[in-house]
């Protein structure tokens, strides 16, 4: 056991890692969170974070259990109660409503900095959590009944190491776990825009031949946009003057909310799907982007990671108290089997939707619009898809 008292180390304090650390602590484990760079505190007068998450009800349920959701709402979060999806190349529209799933909302749009601030404040006050910043996990060595972890040059013997160290995960690499990768050849361009008309607490998504364009509700008449497009087009649009960019954006969105005007800088990030060939290696467990990344069109990437944490919390909490070696083995095997299956299905489904709509092939174009309209009119099917859209 670590001389510092922890029996679990979580490497990486992003949204998913911080959630996993809290989840394990709430399930009765003594946790050390190791993060080289402590996140900046959130301030209301700072410019909004360009990186936002569409936090689904299932993820909100986890954040409520962790005692952080009330703080998130007190800072800044925009609810969306409707979702409208349509195709630029065909007639027909799919309209999801919170009422379809018997819920008050379909989710909330939340900045990454807001989530991190709420999670880290809770971590700092939790009696079973120790935080180490300014150092990282340099490596590990398997033991028969646990794992020895190098934290800033200090060897700590613990029962579990959780790798939440990102899509490029050095710990996954050290374990020799291969990754299935698919590069979409696209980038997601993000920014905030002010719209001429109110967003009506609706998440909007229009499929274009080059990729989907999402307008996500934010404060006032502002929306956070995620514009998926080819890498070349993204680079070109990053260089446009604001007036030209605004005109292209408004046209691409079919002026659904009137004129849209930039109110923030622009940024773009490459899009790829990744899936680790396995999620565990003895007492090393992969979580979040270290285990899987998906296309962002459904806003489910962070939700998948948060559900990793929720499932881990459920499995550990169901046992209660210290775990034996055989209990750890059964628990981790079940986690890896169920979460990898869920991640594989989600990754291929989101990629498939992107491939289906992000093209201008005539036959597919003829089928897409009527298909969206038909689904929107069939209440049970619309409800089923709304539940998936809400995580």
With b for 16 or more beta-carbon neighbours within 10 A and e for fewer, the 211-230 pattern comes to bbbbbbbbeebbbbbbbbbe
Backbone angles phi, psi at 279, to 5 degrees: -100, -5
**What is the spatial distance between Cα 143 and Cα 159, in angstroms, rounded to a whole number?**
9
Question: Distance between CA atoms of 337 and 321, rounded to whole angstroms?
Answer: 23
Is the per-residue pLDDT at 324 higher than 80? yes
**pTM over the 0.95 mark:** no
* pLDDT recorded at residue 312: 97
In this predicted structure, the answer to whether residue 292 has a pLDDT above a threshold of 70 is yes
Q: Concatenated DSSP letters for 335-384?
A: HHHHHHHHHHHHHHHHHHHHHHHSS--HHHHHHHHHHHHHHHH-HHHHHH
The pLDDT of residue 391 is 54
* 3-state SS assignment for residue 330: helix
What pLDDT does 299 receive? 58
Average pLDDT over residues 378-390: 48
Q: What is the pLDDT of residue 295?
A: 75
Picking from 42, 59, 25, the residue whose alpha carbon sits closest to that of residue 130 is 25
**Model confidence at 35: pLDDT above 90:** yes
Checking if the pLDDT of 237 tops 60, the result is: yes
Buried b or exposed e, range 166-196, using 16+ CB within 10 angstroms: beebbbbebbebebeeeebebbbbbbbbbbe
Residue-level pLDDT at 220: 95
Is 48 a residue whose pLDDT tops 50?
A: yes
Task: Give the residue, 92 or 115, on which the prediction is more confident.
Answer: 115
Mean predicted confidence (pLDDT) in 135-150: 95
- Residue 58 and residue 33 in contact, taking contact as beta carbons nearer than 8 Å: no
DSSP line for 133-180: ES--EEEEEEETTEEEEEETTEEEEESEEEE---TT-HHHHHTT--EE
Q: How many residues does the chain have?
A: 391
Closest among 249, 240, 243, 311 to 279, alpha carbons compared = 311
Band of the pLDDT at 365, cuts 50, 70, 90? very low
Helices (H), the chain: 15-26, 57-65, 69-75, 112-125, 170-174, 231-239, 242-252, 301-319, 325-357, 362-377, 379-389
pLDDT in tens, 275-286: 999 999 999 999
Are 357 and 214 a contacting pair, CB within 8 Å? Answer: no
Which domains are seen in the chain, by residue range?
Answer: 8-51+117-181+274-353 (3.50.50.60), 78-109+185-271+361-389 (3.30.9.10)
365 or 298, higher pLDDT:
298
pLDDT higher than threshold 80 for residue 92: no
Higher pLDDT, 341 or 121: 121
Tokens (6 digits) for 277: 């060939």
Mean pLDDT across 17-40: 97
């Amino acid at each position: 056991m670590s001389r510092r008292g922890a029996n679990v180390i979580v490497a990486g304090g992003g949204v998913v890692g911080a959630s996993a650390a809290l989840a394990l602590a709430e399930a009765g484990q003594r946790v050390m969170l190791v993060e080289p760079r402590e996140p900046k505190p959130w301030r209301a007068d700072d410019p909004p974070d360009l990186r936002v998450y569409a936090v689904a009800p299932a993820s909100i349920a986890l954040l409520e259990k962790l005692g952080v959701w009330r703080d998130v709402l007190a800072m800044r979060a925009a609810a969306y109660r409707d979702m409208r999806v349509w195709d630029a190349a065909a007639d027909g529209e799919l309209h999801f409503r919170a009422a379809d799933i018997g819920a008050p909302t379909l989710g909330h749009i939340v900045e990454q900095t807001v989530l991190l601030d709420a999670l880290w404040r809770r971590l700092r006050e939790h009696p079973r959590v120790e935080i180490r910043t300014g150092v990282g996990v340099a490596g590990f060595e398997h033991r028969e009944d646990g794992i020895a972890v190098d934290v800033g040059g200090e060897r700590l013997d613990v029962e579990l190491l959780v790798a939440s160290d990102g899509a490029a995960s050095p710990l996954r690499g050290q374990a020799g776990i291969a990754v299935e990768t698919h590069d979409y050849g696209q980038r997601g361009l993000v920014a905030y825009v002010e719209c001429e008309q109110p967003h009506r607490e609706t998440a909007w998504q229009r499929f274009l031949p080059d990729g989907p364009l999402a307008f996500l509700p934010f404060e006032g008449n502002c929306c956070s946009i995620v514009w998926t497009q080819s890498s070349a087009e993204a680079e070109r649009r990053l260089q446009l003057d604001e007036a030209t960019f605004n005109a292209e954006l408004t046209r691409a969105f079919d002026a659904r909310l009137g004129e849209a005007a930039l109110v923030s800088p622009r940024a773009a990030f490459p899009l790829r799907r990744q899936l680790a060939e396995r999620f565990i290696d003895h007492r090393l467990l992969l979580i979040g982007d270290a285990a899987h990344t998906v296309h962002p069109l459904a806003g489910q990437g962070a939700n998948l990671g948060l559900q990793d944490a929720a499932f881990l919390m459920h499995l550990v909490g169901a046992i209660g108290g210290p775990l034996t070696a055989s209990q750890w083995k059964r628990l981790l095997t079940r986690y890896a089997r169920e979460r990898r299956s869920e991640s594989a299905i989600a990754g291929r489904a989101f990629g498939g939707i992107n491939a289906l709509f992000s093209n201008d092939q005539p036959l597919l174009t003829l089928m897409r619009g009527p298909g969206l309209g038909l689904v929107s009119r069939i209440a049970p099917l619309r409800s089923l898809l709304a539940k998936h859209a809400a995580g």
